[in-house]
Amino acid sequence: MEVTTTMVKELREMTGAGVLDCRNALVETQGDVPKAVDFLRKKGLAAVAKRSGRSTAEGLVHSYIHAGGKIGVLVEVNCETDFVAKTDEFQAFVKDVAMHIAAASPLYLDRESVPEKVVSAERDIYMEQAKELKKPENVMEKIVDGKIDKYYRDICLMEQAFVKDPDKSILDVQNDCMAKLGENMGIKRFARFQLGETSSTN
């Protein structure tokens, strides 16, 4: 199938990928645009994986105030170079993360940040709930594991569904930004302040 300029332009608008990458993706998928999008996404994530070990010493600390001064957020997001830190794409990502933190109230950055005693306490609660179902022990374990996974998705920033696009997690959005900018980046820490409440700092 012939790959037209219009098809390349459409795919580029959908993905933000380069002209050559879009053309190659369309050739590889015989002009199937949805498959070409998947092809580019997989290629981008593969590139992200290669970059994930690189040092991130630059970036931004961004503040966001919401609800008439009743909620405030500070977030630090790192990248490899000052050049990328100054790009519109990186700054938009940082602002989106700060806005998300204000709206979604994450308690921790990721699973590794959650204290073991917190997870153990939740697991004990879920196990007691599961026992009431009078299921076999292996079934109860699966039920508890499923609830723990959901608990992580509720409280960990990187696993939360992005408020502007619930089909993506914050990690997905970060990976998309990394693929687009060609640099390793990462959310290092955040603090959320709500009037009258204790702050959440990670």
pLDDT digits (tens, 9 = 90+) for 30-88: 888 888 878 877 776 545 555 556 667 799 999 999 878 999 999 999 998 999 999 99
Q: Could you give the CA distance from residue 54 to residue 12 in angstroms, rounded to a whole number?
A: 27
The confidence score (pLDDT) of residue 104 equals 96
The confidence score (pLDDT) of residue 55 equals 65
**How far, CA to CA in Å, does 200 sit from each of 115, 119, 188?**
14, 17, 14
Quick one: 106 exposed, middle or buried, by C-beta within 10 A (0-12, 13-18, 19+)? buried
Q: Residue 1: is its pLDDT beyond 80? A: no
**Mean of all residue pLDDT scores within the chain:** 87
How many residues make up the chain in this entry? 202
The confidence score (pLDDT) of residue 88 equals 95
Chain segment 14-24, per-residue pLDDT in tens: 766 667 778 88
Chain segment 158-193, per-residue pLDDT in tens: 999 999 999 999 999 998 998 888 888 999 999 999
Q: Residue 95: is its pLDDT beyond 80? A: yes
Average pLDDT over residues 110-122: 94
Can you read off the two tokens belonging to residue 109? 């950055």
The confidence score (pLDDT) of residue 5 equals 83
The candidate with the shortest Cα–Cα distance to 109, out of 152, 57, 62, 56, is 152
Q: Pick the residue with more confidence: 107 or 183?
A: 107
- Measure CA of the first residue to CA of the last residue in the chain; give whole Å: 52
